[in-house]
Copies of this chain bind each other. A is one copy, B any other.
Amino acid sequence: MKIDPNSPADLSAQIASAIRDAIVTGHLIVDERLPSEAELAEQFQVSRPTVREALKRLAAQSLIRTQRGATGGAFVNRLSFEDAYCQQVTTSTLLLSMNAVSFDTACEARYALERACAPLSATRRSADQLATMRAEIFRQGQPGLTDEAFCASDVAFHRALVDGAHNPVLSYQLAGAVEAMQPLMNMITFTARDRQSILVLHSQIADAVEACDGAAAVAGLTALEEETRKLAADVFARRAAKR
């Protein structure tokens, strides 16, 4: 592991990069302890603050964790699905909000991906996940629910559907697509009639999943996508007309 002191790039960035490579390539394995900050400073011929900046960069990506005390130090962190999930959601949300991604584009991606999970979920979902879907459908029918709460319940419903595939990689990937849509969905006001039609489609999907009918679940999702896009188009059209 070497760095180039004459490179235009920051030393801390170079050091972080070198250590990251060592982790990705497997030269540093999970739970292995890195040298202490003082040792790293000497090894790279830089000062301790510079090493620390590099370590903080890695910590921000959950690649390492640090512990204080006598047997402390920086350890290679096992990247958990949970950690990756959170990063994924943050990144996806910012990506959508900062890049003027149209509602349709995001919606299309989300439902395309969800349809990929549906057949698996229909055959594998646990009773618990089905119950969650039913419970969220019930909640969505409650009067007096705020739009935010309705959206949150919607996310929970779809998350249960996705998790039903019992494939952690799929769940992780979908997390971004589904949750990142929430801020966009929150821009929409749902009338009672809108909610009713969404609810019907949700029930249809839940029924399909219960019957282990993947094709029907896919059909339900397709209908839901169409409904969602129509709904959003109406809202945006009304807003545009108001000006």
Please, which residues of chain B bring their CB within 8 A of the CB of A3? Answer: none
Query: Is there contact, CB below 8 Å, between A101 and B169?
Result: yes
- Determine the distance from Cα of A14 to Cα of B163 in the docked complex, in whole angstroms: 32
Query: Is there contact, CB below 8 Å, between A94 and B23?
Result: yes
Please, which residues of chain B bring their CB within 8 A of the CB of A120? Answer: 108, 112
> How far, in Å, is A34 (CB) from chain B's closest CB?
16
> How far, in Å, is A92 (CB) from chain B's closest CB?
8
* Interface residue ranges of A160-183 to B (CB < 8 Å): 165, 167-170, 172-173, 176-177
Q: Is A142 an interface residue (CB 8 A)?
A: no
* Interface residue ranges of A39-79 to B (CB < 8 Å): 49, 52-54, 56-61, 63, 78-79
Please, which residues of chain B bring their CB within 8 A of the CB of A168? Answer: 99, 101, 105
Task: Tell me how many chains of this kind the complex includes.
Answer: 2
- Determine the distance from Cα of A78 to Cα of B109 in the docked complex, in whole angstroms: 21
* Interface residue ranges of A131-187 to B (CB < 8 Å): 165, 167-170, 172-173, 176-177
- Determine the distance from Cα of A58 to Cα of B105 in the docked complex, in whole angstroms: 28
* Interface residue ranges of A3-18 to B (CB < 8 Å): 12-13, 16
Please, which residues of chain B bring their CB within 8 A of the CB of A215? Answer: none
- Determine the distance from Cα of A167 to Cα of B49 in the docked complex, in whole angstroms: 43
Top 10 nearest A-B pairs by Cβ distance?
A109-B169, A57-B60, A116-B116, A60-B60, A112-B116, A109-B170, A53-B56, A79-B94, A56-B56, A84-B95
Interface residues of A (CB under 8 A from B): 12-13, 16, 20, 23-24, 26, 30, 49, 52-54, 56-61, 63, 78-81, 84, 87-88, 90-99, 101, 105-106, 108-110, 112-113, 115-117, 120, 165, 167-170, 172-173, 176-177
